[in-house]
Amino acid sequence: MRGWRFAGAILASLLGALPAGGALAQGRPLIVYVSPNPIGVNDFLKLGRVGTEAVARTLGAEAKVFESTDPTTQRQNVEAAARAGAKIVITVGFEFNDLVPDIAARYPAVKFLMVDSCAKTLHPNMYCATFREYEPSFLAGAEAAWTSRSGKVGSVGALDIPFLHRFTDAFGEGAKYARADITVVPTLWVGGSNAFSDPARGAQRGAAMTAAGADRVFAAASGSNGGIFKAMRDAPGALAFGVDVNQCPQAPGAVIDNVEKRTDVVVEQSVAGIFHGTEPQMATLGLKEGGMTLTGLGADVAASQCAIAQWPAVITKLKALREEIVSGAIRIADPLMK
């Protein structure tokens, strides 16, 4: 599979390959992105919207965004998109695992793309694009161990659910792999009624983690990460890892690196593949495919505002470790399969 940097060229070629008299020639097809929660400060959900709007422009389609607030509106929005005659309905997150198969069965002419999660039941009109989050999270753990001065690292996750252990467990394993004497502080969870968008509770958990001695903290809590970053500022020498996008500019001096998930480009390529009829029903993306990476491994790390730029020797070690994972020399177990 080609690296995501070639997404634009691939999309353009797919557009040109669509048959005359197809969906584009008959009018503007509708693509609907349904978020599980209000997009707000959630960078991950923003990426889904960006990808949807970008591929709609490329394919000459109309893009709409339906923001949900709870399980009821999640179902209502997916059903509304299907009733509206959407060509493709995009959902992001595990919250849609139960409801999409039910709705997809009733609307066989509509294609459903599930990103970052996959239902147990797949109908012919359903597609999944998931990620191997545990691969870059393992790298982040190694990075934490190699840069830690206190000898203690830890994670703050949004909710104690199996999926998020792909981040937190792999982070701890990577730290132990890189440095046998490192102490991994037990993971803390934001919890509450809005765990993915609660910076105040994130700050409390981040402060508790640094109080336990951790000076490298993996923030796997989406919109709650801002609070965790604030806690790093209040603990001299402490640095956090962000997720999904480069979050270093949000909190300069508080973030060392990020586990980036190229959700926007995955949406672009997957939707184009569905339009063209070439998309596999299930796709999983990790370091090898370029679907996930660390900001610190990018060519523009010097301009990223990430603290890892201060450790060029560590970046060199991380690149070597990444290649071992990509080649299969190092195999990381999926926490969901344990």
Rounded Cα–Cα distance for residues 252 and 14 (Å): 40
pLDDT tens sequence across 92-149: 999 999 999 999 999 999 999 999 999 999 999 999 999 999 999 999 999 999 999 9
Q: Which of 161-165, 170-174, 261-265 has the lowest mean pLDDT?
A: 261-265
* Residues 201 and 180 sit within 8 Å (Cβ to Cβ): no
Q: Which helix (H) or strand (E) holds 96?
A: none
Q: What is the pLDDT of residues 174-218, one digit of tens each?
A: 999 999 999 999 999 999 999 988 999 999 999 999 999 999 999
More confident residue, 319 or 265: 319
What value does the mean pLDDT of the chain take?
91
pLDDT at 3 over 80: no
Closest by alpha carbon to 96, among 121, 60, 133? 121
Going by pLDDT thresholds of 50, 70 and 90, the confidence category of residue 2 is very low
pLDDT exceeds 50 at position 17: no
**Looking at residues 231-246, what average pLDDT do you find?**
96
The pLDDT score that the predictor gives to residue 9 is 35
**pLDDT, tens digit (0-9, with 9 covering 90-100), for 65-86:** 999 999 999 999 999 999 999 9
Beta bridge partners of 35: 67
Residue 160 above 50 pLDDT? yes
- Give the mean pLDDT of 270-294: 93
Query: How much is the average pLDDT of 224-248?
Result: 96
Q: Which string of DSSP letters, residue by residue, matches 325-336?
A: HHHTSS----GG
Looking at residue 43, its pLDDT comes to: 77
Q: Which pLDDT belongs to residue 302?
A: 94
The residue ranges of every structural domain in the chain are 4-131+262-285, 134-260+306-337
CATH topology for the 4-131+262-285 domain = Rossmann fold (3.40.50)
User: What is the CATH number that goes with domain 134-260+306-337?
Assistant: 3.40.50.2300
Do 134-260+306-337 and 4-131+262-285 fall under one CATH topology? Answer: yes
- Going by pLDDT thresholds of 50, 70 and 90, the confidence category of residue 223 is confident
Instruction: Flag the least confident range among 4-8, 130-134, 161-165, 306-310.
Output: 4-8
128 phi-psi bin (left φ>0, alpha ψ -120 to 50, beta other): beta
Quote the pLDDT of residue 338. Answer: 75
pLDDT on residue 7: 37
Q: Is 21 exposed, middle or buried (0-12, 13-18, 19+ CB in 10 A)?
A: exposed
pLDDT, greater one: 41 or 120: 120
pLDDT on residue 222: 87
> Strand 88-92's sheet: what is its strand order?
62-67, 30-35, 88-92, 111-115, 126-131, 282-285
